[in-house]
């Protein structure tokens, strides 16, 4: 109708952080920190494979922490792609290792899936209300 204000935000506006966005950010931060802690503990103390140089695999996750904390959409997008490397490694190692290594690999897969879901929710909710191209 003419003269009636629109209830949809403008095309270039992002949705302001709400409860769902806060929750998905908290999940993304927690699972990223969990993947870092698990990777370091796994390769340095719990079930090391060699001299501990595999602990360097957590380095690509470190630059994501400031971006997640500051709600940087770009960070959520690239992290949702990067996390699949950790999920794939966890799946391979869950099938090839026994004992503690298998449990740690299952934990890595679970953390990776939670991180992916949190990133996807963050991106979807941030673009909610934007017209599709």
Tens-digit pLDDT profile for residues 91-114: 999 999 889 999 999 999 999 999
128 φ, ψ to 5°?
-65, 130
The set of residues, in sequence order, having a beta carbon less than 8 Å from that of 72 and lying 6+ positions away, is 66
Average pLDDT over residues 21-44: 94
CA angle 90, 62, 83 (to 5 degrees): 35
pTM: predicted TM-score of the whole model, two decimal places: 0.81
- Could you give the 3-state DSSP secondary structure of residue 98? coil
């Amino acid at each position: 109708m003419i003269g009636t204000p629109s209830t949809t935000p403008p095309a270039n506006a992002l949705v302001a952080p709400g409860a769902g966005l806060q929750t998905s950010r908290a999940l993304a931060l927690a699972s990223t920190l969990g993947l870092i802690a698990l990777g370091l503990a796994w390769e340095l103390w719990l079930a090391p494979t060699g001299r501990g140089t595999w602990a360097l695999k957590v380095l690509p996750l470190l630059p994501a922490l400031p971006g997640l904390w500051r709600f940087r959409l770009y960070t959520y997008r690239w992290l949702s792609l990067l996390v699949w490397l950790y999920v794939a490694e966890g799946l391979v190692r869950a099938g090839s290792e026994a004992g503690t290594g298998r449990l740690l690999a299952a934990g890595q897969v679970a953390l990776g899936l939670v991180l992916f879901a949190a990133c996807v929710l963050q991106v979807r909710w941030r673009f909610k209300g934007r017209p599709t191209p």
